[in-house]
A and B are shown apart, each in its own frame.
Chain A
Amino acid sequence: MTRNLNLLGLWGLSTILLFAFLDQIVLHDLPCPLCLLQRAAFVAAGVGFALNVTFGSSPAHYGVTLLSAIAGAAMSARQILLHIVPGSGSFGQPFLGLHFYTWGLTAFVLTAVAVGVLLLVEETAAPGHGRSAATPASRVAVGLFLALALANAASTLLECGPGMCPDNPVSYQLLRW
């Protein structure tokens, strides 16, 4: 059962990354430096779920997701705190009344809670841990997640170039001719 829940977690994180990408491409809402760090933290959290569906569940894999979610939550919380002062404005367009960094904090906390629940219901590690437990469904999910990570790497390179991103990006640096 936990295998399917891990798969669900991986699809959930893929949906978040896909939605952020759609917002970037369709609404031309370019991600800021902190937004990019949060996206990367979502990808890092997904590595733990991907390891679980590929090799079977392990405390180390859950640790990967949990540590990444905590790092991502810290980044989201910092961005919320930057904008919490009245008159300091906000970054990007809100979605359902909340900004993406607020949704980000919610998603990171939910991911950490999901890891806790999965560890509660997890059965004892089966013998032969570390060997392949991959199925066609898991390979498709991991493949899609890998494609999203690559797409984010390409998009970030286009937006920021090889160095740091501008504070408030309005165009793709490598597409300026």
Chain B
Amino acid sequence: MALPFATLALALFFTWREMRGAALAGWGVSLLLLLALFRWHATAPLNLSW
């Protein structure tokens, strides 16, 4: 679950280095990863401690 943070850090690094296209691409990949993880969570057996 650390992967979305890593790709978002990469997107922010590209922003900091003023590489706009790479930053937007990094953000896009991160959002897709986040949504995939959210889907995994939503379809996993329900556990109310989550």
- CB<8 Å pairs between A and B, sample of 14: A37-B41, A41-B34, A44-B4, A46-B12, A47-B8, A47-B12, A50-B15, A75-B38, A82-B46, A142-B16, A145-B12, A157-B2, A163-B1, A165-B1
Residues of chain A lying within 8 A (CB to CB) of residue B24: 51, 60, 64
Decide if the interface of chain B is mainly helix, strand, loop or mixed. helix
Chain B residues packing against A (C-beta within 8 Å): 1-2, 4-6, 8-9, 11-13, 15-16, 18, 20, 23-24, 26-27, 30-31, 34-35, 37-38, 40-42, 46-50
Decide if the interface of chain A is mainly helix, strand, loop or mixed. helix
Residues of chain B lying within 8 A (CB to CB) of residue A146: 9, 12-13, 15-16
When the two chains form their complex, are residues A37 and B18 in contact, meaning their CB atoms are under 8 A apart?
Answer: no
Query: For chain A residues 12-61, which have a beta carbon within 8 Å of chain B?
Result: 32-34, 36-37, 39-41, 43-44, 46-48, 50-51, 54-55, 60
